[in-house]
C-alpha cells in the first residue's frame, strides 16, 4: 500500500509487521518518533502480543532486549548517538551472547559539543561490536531493511543494527510502499531461537570463558558474519520476489560500469551523490557511485569487484576517525589492497552540515584533475579553524573550543552551503 508518511512511522509500521514481542523505549532524538509510534500501536491493541517497556536508560533498553531475546522473544529497540554509546557495553554483550535483537539507529553525531544532527559517528564507533550493520539509502529501504534484519539476525542468531540518517530520513515525509501483513509473514518465519532460557531444559548462558576457548568463540562470531555475506544477497533476492522491489543486498552500484571515478558512500547522501553524478555524466564525466548497504560484515569481495575498473575512488564519509581520517575509506583500502588505485577520503556532513551538489561537484572535479588531497574536509571553514588555532597559541586560557568557533562564525548554521 502506498502511503505518504514520515520515515520514522514507516519504520515503526514495518517493525510492527514483524510481530515484535518486546520493545524497549528510551527517548533520544532523532529516534523518538519510531518508538512512540510503536508504543501507540501496542497501547491501542493494534500491535497485539507485545510488551512495550519504558526503560530508564539505553543501557537498560539493550539489557531488557537481551533478557527478552534470551527468553525466546523477538526483541526490538531503537536509539541514536549518545544513547548508542550509553548502551555500548550491552551492545557488545548482545552480539557476544548471539541474541538476534534488531535495533534502529537514527544516525546522529556524538558530543561534545552536543549536536543532535546527522552524521555516522555513532554507528561507526560500534563497527566492531559484532552486530550486523545495514545502512538505508531512503525511507523505503529503511522500512524494508528492518524486515530483512529480523530474518537475517534470527537465521544467524546475531543482532542487526539498521542505520538510517537522523532527521534526513527519520523526519522526512516521503511516499513509501507499506507491505501487507501476509507478505511479511510469508517472508519472515516465526522466531525459533537457537538457545533459550527454559525450565524444561535448563542451560547456563553467558558463562565465563578463559584463554582456552575465547579465541574460538570470537572466531565463530567472525565466521557467522562471513555467513551473513553469503546470505544477504539471497535474502534481498527473495525480498524482491515477495515484495516486488529491490532493497538491501551488500552494495549497490550506480552508473559505475565504465566509470573512471567511483564515489563510495553510505546512507541518504547517496541521493545527492547520484544527482551530482547525473549532472556530471551529462557533461561527459565518467563517474559513478557505489553505495554500501551492508557495512558489517564488510563486503570485501563485492567492493573489490565493483571498484575493479576505477582509476580513482572517492570515499565520502560522515564520520571521522580523529587522528587518522576516514573509517569507511580504510575499509575500502582493504578491499583494494592488491591494487594501487588511489583512494581519497572526503569527510563531509559532520554534525548535520549540509552536503550540497555544488560542493560535491567541486570535490569530484578536483579528483578528476588529480588535485584532491588524500584526506579533505568538505566545506570546512579553514579560516575559522586557523584563527582558533592561532588564538590557542597566543592565549593560554583560550576558553571552550566550540564557543570560540561559534563566536568566529556568528549565527550558527547561517553559512551552510
Partner 1 sequence: MSFQPVKFYQTGTFTVGNRLLPDAERSVQANMRRTNSLNSGHRACQGCGEALGARYAIDAAMNATGNRLVAANATGCLEVFSTPYPETSWQIPWIHSLFGNTAAVATGIAAALKVKAKSDVRVIAQGGDGGTTDIGFGCLSGMFERNDDVLYICYDNEAYMNTGVQRSSATPPAARTATTMAVGSEPGNPFGQGKNLPAIALAHDIAYVATATVAELRDLEAKVTRAMEFRGARYIHIFVPCPLGWGHASHDTIRIARLAKETGLFPVFEAENGEIVSVSKIRHRLPVEEYLRPQKRFAHLFSPQPRAQVIAHLQAIADRNIRKYGLCEENAQ
Q: Distance between CA atoms of 250 and 297, rounded to whole angstroms?
A: 9
Give the binding range for partner 1 (CB under 8 A) out of 4-12, 31-39, 152-160, 199-207.
199-207
Q: Distance between CA atoms of 64 and 19, rounded to whole angstroms?
A: 17
Give the binding range for partner 1 (CB under 8 A) out of 50-58, 239-247, 276-284, 402-410.
50-58
* 90 binding partner 1? (CB under 8 A): yes
* 233 binding partner 1? (CB under 8 A): no
* Cβ neighbour number for residue 246 with a 10 Å cutoff: 14
What is the chain's length?
417
Q: Which of 28, 41, 64, 335 binds partner 1 (CB under 8 A)?
A: 64
Residues binding partner 1: what is the number (CB under 8 A)?
Answer: 45
Instruction: Write down the H helix ranges in 244-376.
Output: 269-282, 300-307, 328-335, 357-368
* 38 binding partner 1? (CB under 8 A): no
- Distance in Å, CB of 98 to partner 1, minimum: 12
Q: Distance between CA atoms of 251 and 302, rounded to whole angstroms?
A: 7
Peptide bond into 30 cis (omega under 30): yes
* 270 binding partner 1? (CB under 8 A): no
Question: Do residues 39 and 76 touch, judged by C-beta distance below 8 A?
Answer: no
* 67 binding partner 1? (CB under 8 A): yes
Q: Which of 15, 41, 60, 152 binds partner 1 (CB under 8 A)?
A: 60
- What residues contact 338, with CB distance under 8 A and at least 6 apart? none
* 210 binding partner 1? (CB under 8 A): yes
* Cβ neighbour number for residue 413 with a 10 Å cutoff: 11
Q: Distance between CA atoms of 287 and 96, rounded to whole angstroms?
A: 41
Give the binding range for partner 1 (CB under 8 A) out of 153-161, 205-213, 226-234, 395-403.
205-213
* 199 binding partner 1? (CB under 8 A): yes
Give the binding range for partner 1 (CB under 8 A) out of 19-27, 134-142, 150-158, 278-286.
19-27
Q: Which of 5, 8, 31, 63 binds partner 1 (CB under 8 A)?
A: 63
Give the binding range for partner 1 (CB under 8 A) out of 66-74, 181-189, 285-293, 380-388.
66-74
* 209 binding partner 1? (CB under 8 A): yes
* 208 binding partner 1? (CB under 8 A): yes
Q: Which is nearer to partner 1, 211 or 370 (by Cβ)?
A: 211
Angle CA 230–235–238, to nearest 5: 135
* 197 binding partner 1? (CB under 8 A): yes
Angle CA 106–225–197, to nearest 5: 85
* Cβ neighbour number for residue 148 with a 10 Å cutoff: 27
Residues that bind partner 1 (CB under 8 A): 21-22, 24, 49-51, 53-57, 59-60, 62-73, 75, 89-90, 93, 97, 197-199, 201-210, 212-213
Amino acid at each position: 500500500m502506498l502511503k505518504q508518511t514520515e520515515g520514522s512511522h514507516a519504520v515503526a509500521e514495518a517493525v510492527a509487521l514483524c510481530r515484535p514481542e518486546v520493545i524497549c523505549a528510551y527517548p533520544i532524538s532523532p529516534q523518538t518518533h519510531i518508538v512512540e509510534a510503536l508504543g501507540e500501536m501496542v497501547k491501542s491493541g493494534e500491535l497485539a502480543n507485545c510488551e512495550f517497556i519504558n526503560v530508564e536508560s539505553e543501557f537498560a533498553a539493550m539489557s531488557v532486549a537481551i533478557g527478552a531475546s534470551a527468553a525466546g522473544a523477538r526483541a526490538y529497540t531503537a536509539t541514536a548517538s549518545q544513547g548508542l554509546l550509553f548502551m555500548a557495553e550491552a551492545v557488545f554483550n548482545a552480539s557476544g551472547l548471539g541474541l538476534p535483537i534488531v535495533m534502529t539507529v537514527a544516525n546522529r553525531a556524538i558530543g561534545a559539543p552536543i549536536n543532535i544532527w546527522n552524521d555516522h559517528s555513532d554507528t561507526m564507533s560500534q563497527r566492531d561490536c559484532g552486530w550486523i550493520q545495514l545502512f538505508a539509502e531512503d525511507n523505503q529501504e529503511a522500512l524494508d531493511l528492518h524486515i530483512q534484519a529480523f530474518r537475517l539476525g534470527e537465521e544467524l542468531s546475531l543482532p542487526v543494527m539498521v542505520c538510517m540518517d537522523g532527521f534526513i530520513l527519520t523526519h522526512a515525509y516521503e511516499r513509501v510502499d507499506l507491505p501487507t501483513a501476509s507478505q511479511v509473514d510469508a517472508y519472515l518465519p516465526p522466531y525459533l531461537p537457537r538457545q533459550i532460557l527454559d525450565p524444561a531444559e535448563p542451560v547456563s548462558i553467558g558463562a565465563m570463558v578463559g584463554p582456552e576457548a575465547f579465541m574460538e568463540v570470537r572466531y565463530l562470531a567472525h565466521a557467522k558474519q562471513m555467513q551473513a555475506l553469503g546470505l544477504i544477497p539471497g535474502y534481498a533476492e527473495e525480498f524482491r520476489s515477495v515484495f516486488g522491489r529491490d532493497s538491501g543486498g551488500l552494495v549497490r552500484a550506480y552508473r559505475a560500469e565504465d566509470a573512471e571515478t567511483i564515489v563510495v558512500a553510505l546512507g541518504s547522501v547517496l541521493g545527492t551523490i547520484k544527482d551530482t553524478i547525473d549532472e556530471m555524466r551529462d557533461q561527459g564525466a565518467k563517474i559513478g557511485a557505489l553505495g554500501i548497504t551492508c557495512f558489517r560484515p564488510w563486503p570485501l569481495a563485492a567492493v573489490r569487484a565493483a571498484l575493479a575498473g576505477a582509476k580513482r575512488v572517492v570515499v565520502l564519509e560522515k564520520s571521522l576517525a580523529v587522528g587518522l581520517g576516514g573509517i569507511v575509506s580504510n575499509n575500502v583500502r582493504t578491499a583494494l589492497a592488491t591494487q594501487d588505485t588511489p583512494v581519497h577520503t572526503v569527510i563531509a556532513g559532520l554534525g548535520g552540515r549540509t552536503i550540497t551538489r555544488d560542493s560535491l561537484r567541486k570535490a569530484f572535479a578536483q579528483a578528476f584533475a588529480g588535485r584532491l588531497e588524500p584526506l579533505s574536509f568538505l566545506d570546512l571553514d579553514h579560516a575559522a579553524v586557523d584563527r582558533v588555532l592561532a588564538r590557542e597559541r597566543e592565549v593560554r586560557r583560550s576558553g571552550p573550543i566550540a564557543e570560540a568557533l561559534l563566536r568566529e562564525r556568528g549565527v550558527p548554521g547561517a553559512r551552510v552551503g
